[in-house]
Amino acid sequence: MRPHSVHPKPRRPKLKKGRLKRRHPPVRAACEARPSAADLAQPGGAEPELQGAAEAGSAEADAAPPAPAEPAESSVGSPPAPDAPASARKCRLKRMAAAAAFTAVLLAALGFALWWRIALSPMTVRAEAAAGESIDVMVEQGDTLRGIALRMNEAGFEVSDWELRLAARFGIREAAHRLHAGLYRFPVESTPLEAVRILAGRPIVDQQVRIPDGATLSEVMSILAGATNLKPVAAGMQPEALKAALGLEGYPSIEGFVAPDTYRYGSGTSDLAVLKQAVERQKKILEEAWAKRTEGASELKSPYEALILASIVEKETGERSDRRLVSSVFNNRLKVGMPLQSDPTVIYGLGPSWSGRLAKRDLQAYTPYNTYRIEGLPPTPISSATPASIEAAVAPAETRYLYFVSRGDGTSEFTTNLRDHNRAVEHFILKRRKAPFKPISPDRPSTAPLRAR
């Protein structure tokens, strides 16, 4: 019989199968809730059976020498358990990347759908408006893209204001801030983006108005009031406000500053816009002519005086070849101090009271424009002078003429003295002769001083 050992072999506690063979969980489970280190340190925490077994074996271990440690069983090839916080962080990053990728794809799909709608898909056109190749839409002053969308819908398109605003953002961002009043023409197959590009340009020029040579300001305003699709803005303005809008604050009148010409405009344009164009044109013509004035116009002290004289020349003759001769008569009279004695200035001063024929009482009636009664030039122009009359006013012909009378065929007879002038009046006006007139009074040499005769 073997004697009992003094130190009996300690018995290992029986553990449940698999407790020491726990495999590391997959990475996708790392983001699940795990107990914290504090939870594991508390009594009654995780692994209660393993803890109880360890306590049972500790009593026997005190009485016996420690047994050699046995290697823990583990699965072949199992990696060591990773750090839990690092795994969770990695998992969160992967989830964020996946969410960002999904959002990017969604936004790209939405952007493509919007781009298709505004850039590639034509606007719907109602059947009654789709007969032609294009649709005209009138844009009023102060219209926004919302208002334009409403006008386009009234014309036959089916488009919303958000489509136009989005098209402006995609295409021309400044389009919403530089809209011009006028008529715009849209092809029936236009997309919202094409419509915005059309709106960013200039309205179509489909109308025109003619300001005739020698027209007065009242005649000009009447012509503009009757023009097609021209908005009456200037017509309702006070004279001082209109002068300020046209840049003519320093002048007594707008008269004479409207250049005769044909002006083209788009439907919906204001009469003020046409007037601005005409005034700028006349200013430029006057400035260029004044820079080329000759010694014969030495009595004219300013461009405005030249414009006044040009308006008289414009009314006195329609014959281009006579303009510089007529100008020489008035410039010579200014030099010698003779009254201009121009019938058109008298008629202008009479205004609506003129009966259609000048009577003796009309020549005797005082008005600021009656050049039979006043000295020098009238206070303002009396008509809209053409470039030819403006050039003639500042560059008169070199003559000694002081008188002229109409021959009845559009041309004039010029004389240097009153005696020959009276005979010319009898020849062409009273007797209505067509034969050439021959003066009988000898003319003075060109070197003799010019004086009234």
Inter-CA distances, 103 with 37, 108, 109, Å? 37, 8, 10
What single string gives the DSSP state of each residue in 190-252?
--HHHHHHHHHSPPP--EEEEE-TT--HHHHHHHHHTSTT-B-SGGGS-HHHHHHHTT-TTSS
User: Which pLDDT band holds residue 426 (cuts at 50, 70, 90)?
Assistant: very high
Q: What gap in Å lies between CA 68 and CA 63, rounded to an integer?
A: 15
The per-residue pLDDT for 90 is 83
**Residue 196, pLDDT above cutoff 70:** yes
CA 188 centroid distance within chain = 25
Side-chain-side CA neighbours of 196 within 13 Å: the count stands at 27
Query: For residue 246, what are its two tokens?
Result: 């046209």
Q: Is the dihedral of CA 370, 335, 382, 305 positive or negative?
A: negative
Inter-CA distances, 132 with 151, 197, 211, 268, 308, Å? 18, 21, 34, 22, 52
Give 366's DSSP letter. Answer: -
Q: What gap in Å lies between CA 136 and CA 211, rounded to an integer?
A: 27
**Ranges assigned E (strand) in 28-77:** none
Choice between 280 and 24, residue whose per-residue pLDDT is larger: 280
> Average pLDDT for residues 256-276, to the nearest whole number?
93
Percentage of the chain lying above the pLDDT 70 cut = 76
The per-residue pLDDT for 60 is 46
The domain 124-200 having CATH identifier 3.30.1490.480: the answer here is yes
Q: Going by C-beta distance under 8 Å and a sequence separation of 6 or more, which residues neighbour residue 17?
A: none
**Residue 234, pLDDT above cutoff 90:** yes
Q: E strand or H helix at 392, and its extent?
A: helix 387-394
Q: Going by C-beta distance under 8 Å and a sequence separation of 6 or more, which residues neighbour residue 416?
A: 400, 401, 402, 403, 439, 441, 443, 444, 453
**Residue 286, pLDDT above cutoff 70:** yes
The per-residue pLDDT for 453 is 59
> Average pLDDT for residues 20-36, to the nearest whole number?
50
User: Which pLDDT band holds residue 322 (cuts at 50, 70, 90)?
Assistant: very high
Q: CB burial class (10 A; 0-12, 13-18, 19+) of residue 386?
A: buried
The per-residue pLDDT for 61 is 42
For the chain, residues classed under CATH 3.30.1490.480 are 124-200
**Helical packing angle, 387-394 and 323-336, nearest 10°:** 40
> Average pLDDT for residues 338-345, to the nearest whole number?
96
Q: What gap in Å lies between CA 3 and CA 165, rounded to an integer?
A: 104
Inter-CA distances, 344 with 313, 381, 416, Å? 9, 11, 21
> What is the pTM (predicted TM-score) of this model?
0.67
The per-residue pLDDT for 62 is 47
Q: Going by C-beta distance under 8 Å and a sequence separation of 6 or more, which residues neighbour residue 302?
A: none
- Please answer whether residues 397 and 227 qualify as being in contact, where contact means their C-beta atoms are separated by less than 8 angstroms: no
Q: What gap in Å lies between CA 360 and CA 332, rounded to an integer?
A: 25
Which range (184-198, 368-382, 396-410, 417-431) has the least confidence?
Answer: 184-198
**Residue 390, pLDDT above cutoff 60:** yes
User: Which pLDDT band holds residue 73 (cuts at 50, 70, 90)?
Assistant: very low
Residue 155: count of CB within 10 angstroms of its CB: 16
Residue 383: count of CB within 10 angstroms of its CB: 26
**Residue 70, pLDDT above cutoff 70:** no
**Residue 32, pLDDT above cutoff 70:** no
Q: What gap in Å lies between CA 283 and CA 305, rounded to an integer?
A: 13
